[in-house]
């Protein structure tokens, strides 16, 4: 399986239905090419209240969606192997993390 559920996220922020829809429409659905997230950069994708950051840690990229202001809490987090190739797997993992508060791992 190209993505699996990892451990529960630490100090994950909560979102309501409207915020989840904003994140899905303005951030997650915009990820078309996996190479875009495979670089260290803040605010790769943004919406009115959220942004997606990516950081390389060894052989993986830690990808987080966070509030832009206020608590700046993370609401979705995944780790993407540097050998991963499918943007749909990244979108599915981010959506899953947003829904269950766990870190998801994409290989």
- Total number of domains constituting the chain: 1
Predicted pLDDT at 83: 95
Parallel, antiparallel or unpaired: strands 41-46 and 102-106:
unpaired
Write 72-76 long-range contacts (CB < 8 A, 24+).
Answer: 73/11, 73/12, 73/13, 74/9, 74/11, 74/12, 74/13, 75/12, 75/13, 75/14, 75/15, 75/19, 75/23, 75/50, 76/23
pTM of the model: 0.94
Q: Each residue of 85-105: pLDDT tens digit?
A: 999 999 999 999 999 999 999
CB 51 within 8 A of CB 68: yes
pLDDT of 1 above 80: no
Q: Each residue of 12-58: pLDDT tens digit?
A: 998 999 999 999 999 999 999 999 999 888 899 999 999 999 999 99
Q: Each residue of 48-83: pLDDT tens digit?
A: 999 999 999 999 999 999 999 888 899 999 999 999
Domain encompassing residue 97: 3-106
Q: Closest by alpha carbon to 3, among 73, 104, 85?
A: 104
Cα Rg of the chain (Å, integer)? 12
Q: How many Å apart are CA 21 and CA 23, to the nearest integer? A: 5
C-alpha distance from residue 56 to each of 1, 23, 42, 62, 105 (Å): 22, 22, 12, 6, 14
């Amino acid at each position: 399986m190209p993505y699996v559920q990892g451990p529960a996220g630490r100090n994950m922020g909560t979102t309501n239905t409207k915020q989840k829809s904003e994140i899905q429409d303005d951030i997650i659905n915009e990820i078309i090419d996996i190479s875009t997230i495979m670089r260290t950069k803040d605010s790769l994708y943004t919406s009115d209240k959220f942004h997606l950051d990516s950081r390389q840690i060894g052989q993986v990229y830690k990808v987080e969606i966070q509030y832009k202001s206020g608590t700046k809490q993370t609401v979705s987090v995944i780790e993407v192997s540097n050998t991963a190739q499918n943007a749909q797997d990244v979108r599915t993992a981010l959506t899953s993390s947003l829904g269950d508060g766990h870190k998801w791992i994409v290989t």
